[in-house]
Chains A and B, each alone.
Chain A
Amino acid sequence: TYGSTGIRDVHLELKDLTLFGQRGNLHFISFPTQDLSTFIQMGRDKNFSTLQTVLCATGGGAYKSEKDFRTIGNLHSDELDCLTKRLLCIESVSFNGQRPQKMPSNLDDPYPLLVVNIGSGVSILAVHSKDNYKRVTGTSLGEGTFLGLCSLLYGCESFEEALEMASKDDNTQADKLSHDIYGGDHERFGLPGWTVTSSFRNMFYKEKRESVSKEDLARATLVTITNSFGSVARMCAVNEETNRVVFVGNVLHVNTLSMKLLAYALGFWSKGQLKALFLEREGYFGAVSALLGLTNFS
C-alpha cells in the first residue's frame, strides 16, 4: 500500500516480461483520482522532473490535470485508443451462467469485438481490427452511479464496502418484478416472472421502505446498474453484429456478482448468441497501453 489509499495488486503482477528489450516485472497500482494532487505533490517532492522521464498518461484526468502534470512532464494518449490498442489478454475469463465458473477463453481471433469499458461512466466500443474501432455509444450509469447511489442511500464509504453489502442480499425487496405486476410471467413477450420491470419501484410504498435493509438497497443498485449497461451492450452487439462482448473496468474488479449477472443476462436475453468475456487485469488496460506508448518517445 501507498499512503492510505494506494494499492498494489500483487496478484496481477506480470513477471519476467520483456519490454523494450529490458526484462522485468510489471506492477499494477491504483489509487483514487481524488488523491491525484497528492501524487503530483509527491512527484514534485521526489524530484521526478530531474529524471527527465516521459510520463504517458491517459484517461480524462490526463487532460484535466495536464497543467499540474507539466511540472513533472507528461504526454497524452487518448484514453480509448489506449484501451483498444493492446488488449493484452493475458487470461480472459468467461462465466458460464448457471454454474458460474471461470473458464479461460482464447482471444486468438478477437475481431470483431465489442468492448464495454465501465468506469465512472460507460463507453462502448466496436473494435473491428487493431486500428479500426469506433465509440458506438455510452451510458452515464456506471460505477460512479453505483457508488454514488450507495453512498447516498446508506452512507457507504468505499467500493469494497458497497460490494460486500450487495453480495449479501436480495434485490427483489426493492425492485418490482414482472411477477409483482403480472402475478407470473408475461408470456406474450417472453418475459419471465423474475424479470425486473421497474427498479426501485417498491420503494414508493412506505411499508416496504421501512422493511428494506441496506444490503437490499446495495444489491438493488448493483443489479440495476449492471442490468442497464448489460442491456445496452446487448443492443449494441446486435447492432454491430458481434457475438463477443468484453467487459472491462474496475467495477468488475472483485465483483463476481456483476460478472455472473452479466454473463447470465447476456446469454439469456440473446438466447445464447452472445458471450460475455472478462479480463483478469480489468482496469489497467489504459495504463498498460499508455506505457507501451512510450515507444514513440524513446
Chain B
Amino acid sequence: MRRHGPFHPRVHWAAPPSLSFGLHRLLLLRGTRIPLLHHLSLDGGMVNPPGVSESIGREAFGPPPASSDWLPARWRNGRSGWPRARLCPGWTAAEEGRSSTLGGLLGRQRWLLRMGAGWLGAPMERHGRASATSVSSGGEQAAGGPEGRRQEPLRRRASSASVPAVGASAEGARRDRLGSYSGPTSVSRQRVESLRKKRPLFPWFGLDIGGTLVKLVYFEPKDITAEEEEEEVESLKSIRKYLTSNVAYGSTGIRDVHLELKDLTLCGRKGNLHFIRFPTHDMPAFIQMGRDKNFSSLHTVFCATGGGAYKFEQDFLTIGDLQLCKLDELDCLIKGILYIDSVGFNGRSQCYYFENPADSEKCQKLPFDLKNPYPLLLVNIGSGVSILAVYSKDNYKRVTGTSLGGGTFFGLCCLLTGCTTFEEALEMASRGDSTKVDKLVRDIYGGDYERFGLPGWAVASSFGNMMSKEKREAVSKEDLARATLITITNNIGSIARMCALNENINQVVFVGNFLRINTIAMRLLAYALDYWSKGQLKALFSEHEGYFGAVGALLELLKIP
C-alpha cells in the first residue's frame, strides 16, 4: 500500500547496506573493520599487517603461483558460502600495495605517465579529489595497512572515485594468505599484462540504468595481439563478437552505430567505443542473459550509474551473480560530458547549436566550440529533469529539477493517443498543430498582451482549449501529441531560463534522451531560450545526448581522472 506523498513521507533510508547483515556480523567477529563500501573484500581472512608483502616485480616474471595470487581469489565462485566481492577500480593499486613502496611508486609513475595530460588535453582531476593525493596515499599507506583505510560515512552511496588505493592495498595483502581455491590455477598472460599495466580486465562496460532506458557503452579493443586473442576466454570473445557484429539485440536493444567513436585510446588500449541502449523494462532479460553467458566468470567489474543501479543491484547479485559498482548519476554525467567533449566526435564537434531555429527552411545545425565551458548550465532531460550548474570540473551543484520530463511526454502521449513507442509519439507530434489544443494569449486577449510583452502567439494555457467539448472533438491525435511535446518542452525551457538567470550563466547545454531524434523540441528550446532572454542565452546540444552517464561510469571503471 503506497500512500506516499507529501503528507506521508516515507522513512528515509540510511545508505542501503551493500553487504548482507550476516556478513556484517561475520566480519565484525573476525575483527576486521568494515567500511561499507563496494570495494570491500569479503574473502575473509585476517587483515595482513604491513610487512607481509609479496616480492617486488612478481608480475614481471610471469604468472605467479596461484596460491598466493589474488586473482584466483577473485575467481572463487561465491557459492562456497562467501559472497564474492567485486573490487571497484581501486584494485589497480592493489598491486602497488603488495609490492614494496618503491616498486609501487615506480609502477604508479608509469601508470600516471600513461594516463597523464598528454592525450586528454587539459588534465582532468578526479572529481572531488586530486589524483595525486590518492596516488601517494596508495604508495604510503600500503605500509599503513588497514589503519590507513579511510572510513567513509555510512550514508554515502556515492561513487567509489574516492575509494583510496589504501583499502584495496590492504585487501590485496590479505588475499595472499588465502589457501585453497576452486578457481582456475593458471593465469593468462593477457590478464597478467593487464594487471601489470593497471588496467581492469575486459570487457569494459559503462552502464547507466535510467528510469526508461538503459545506456551501455562498450569499449571494443582493436589492438588485440594474436597472442592475446589466443588466450582470450571464450565468453569474452563471444561477447565482443555479439556486440560488434549486431546493431540490434533481441527485439528492443539497439546499437547507435552513427555515434560510434573510432580509434579511441583508453587506458593505453586502442579501440572503438560503442553506444547501446535498451529499455529498462527489459533489464531482467539483460541480467538473465548475463547469467546465461556466464558473465560472472569473467570477473569483470560492472560500473553502473543511474537510479537503476541501486534498484537492480539485488537482482544483479542474486540472478546474475554480478556485483555492481554503483556510481552517482550526476557525477558520471559531468565526467562523461567533459571527456566526450575533449575527445571530439571522430574529428567533428560534439557540441552544436541551431541557427534560425524557428524557420524550417533556414534552420541550420552548426558546430559550437565549447572551449570555455564554465560556467555551464546543464539540463539533463531524461524521464525527469535535473538542472545542474557547473562551475568547474569538480565544482557543480544540482540547482533544481522538474518532474515534467521525457517520461511525462511519453506517458501522456500514450494515454492521449495510444501510441506505443517514443518514435511513434514524435512522428505524430511532427504532424500535429498544437494551437488547436492550447489556449494562446491571443485567444484570451484577442492579440498581444503588450503591457508585459507577451505576444499573441505565446501559449497562455497549455491544453486550455480542451475544456470545451466542441474543441475536444475537433482535435486529432497528432494535435494532442504535438501539444504535449510543446508543453513539456516549453516548461523545461522556461525553468532552464530562470535558472540561468539566477545563476548568472549564459550557456545552457541540453542533454538526455528526450532530445534524441527530437528536432522539434531542440529547435523550440533554442528559439524559446533566445527569444525570452532577448538573445542573452544560448541553447547548446550534444551528439551523444543520453550516453554521458554511461561514459562517466566507464571512465570510473578505468579510473581515468
Contact = CB atoms under 8 A, between A and B. Distances in A.
A78 B469 CA distance: 30
A201 B411 contact: yes
B463 interface: yes
A193 B408 contact: no
A201 B494 contact: no
Nearest to A181: B307
Contact of A182 (B307, B459, B472): B307
A159 to B, nearest CB: 9
B508 to A, nearest CB: 15
Interface stretch (B84-92, B197-205, B226-234, B446-454): B446-454
Contacts of B155: 187
Contacts of B49: none
Interface in B182-230: 210-212
Contacts of B461: 119-121, 140, 142-145, 148
A80 B454 CA distance: 13
A184 B447 CA distance: 49
Contact of B211 (A172, A180, A231): A180
A224 interface: yes
Nearest to A202: B411
B12 A201 contact: no
Contact of B383 (A61, A140, A198): A198
A261 B6 contact: yes
Given A34-B468, A142-B461, A201 B212 contact: yes
Contact of B412 (A138, A171, A186, A200): A200
B416 A153 contact: yes
A258 to B, nearest CB: 12
Interface in A166-225: 170-172, 174-189, 192-205, 209, 217, 223-224
A288 B436 CA distance: 33
Contacts of A182: 307, 310-311
Contacts of B466: 147-149, 151-152
A153 B502 CA distance: 36
B185 to A, nearest CB: 39
B158 interface: yes
B4 A194 contact: yes
B498 interface: yes
A261 B5 CA distance: 9
B410 interface: yes
A187 B5 contact: no
A224 B463 CA distance: 14
Nearest to B480: A152
B501 interface: yes
Contact of A201 (B211, B330, B438): B211
A144 B211 contact: no
A120 B464 contact: yes
A232 B281 CA distance: 32
Nearest to A67: B446
Interface in A101-147: 119-121, 123, 135, 137-145, 147
Interface stretch (A18-26, A47-55, A235-243, A275-283): A235-243
A203 B6 contact: no
A268 B6 CA distance: 9
Contact of A80 (B311, B398, B452, B490): B452
Contacts of B258: none
Contacts of B27: none
B211 A239 contact: no
Contact of A184 (B9, B16, B211, B386): B16
B403 A199 contact: yes
Contacts of A187: 12-13, 15, 155, 157
Given A201-B212, A201-B408, A148 B467 contact: yes
A183 B306 CA distance: 11
Contact of A145 (B211, B441, B464, B502): B464
Nearest to A200: B411
Interface string B88-114: 000000000000000000000000000
B404 interface: yes
Nearest to A62: B445
Contacts of A66: 446
B494 A137 contact: yes
A201 B464 contact: no
Contacts of B403: 175, 195-199, 224, 227-228
B408 A63 contact: no
A273 B307 CA distance: 29
A135 B313 CA distance: 48
A248 interface: no
Given A148-B462, A224-B403, A140 B490 contact: yes
B411 A203 contact: yes
B439 A144 contact: yes
A144 to B, nearest CB: 3
A260 B7 contact: yes
A1 interface: no
B402 interface: yes
A210 to B, nearest CB: 11
A76 to B, nearest CB: 10
B460 interface: yes
A63 B445 CA distance: 5
A247 interface: no
Contact of B437 (A143, A148, A176, A239): A148
Contact of B10 (A78, A192, A197): A192
B334 to A, nearest CB: 13
A196 B405 CA distance: 11
A163 interface: no
Contact of A148 (B328, B458, B463, B491): B463
A264 interface: yes
A295 interface: no
Interface in B306-326: 306-308, 310-311, 313
A80 B451 contact: yes
A203 B414 contact: yes
A252 interface: no
A98 interface: yes
Contacts of B447: 63
B468 A140 contact: no
Contacts of A147: 464, 466-467
B462 A171 contact: no
Given A193-B4, A204-B212, A183 B307 contact: yes
A265 interface: yes
Given A120-B439, A137-B498, A201-B212, 13 more contacts: A60-B445, A78-B451, A123-B452, A137-B494, A148-B463, A148-B466, A149-B466, A176-B211, A180-B211, A194-B9, A196-B384, A200-B415, A201-B211
23 contacts: A63-B446, A80-B452, A120-B464, A140-B461, A145-B461, A170-B5, A179-B10, A180-B211, A181-B211, A181-B306, A182-B307, A186-B307, A188-B157, A192-B12, A194-B9, A199-B408, A201-B410, A204-B410, A204-B411, A209-B414, A223-B5, A235-B498, A260-B7
Which 8 A-B pairs give the minimum distances between C-beta atoms?
A: A201-B407, A144-B461, A148-B463, A198-B407, A148-B466, A144-B464, A181-B307, A200-B411
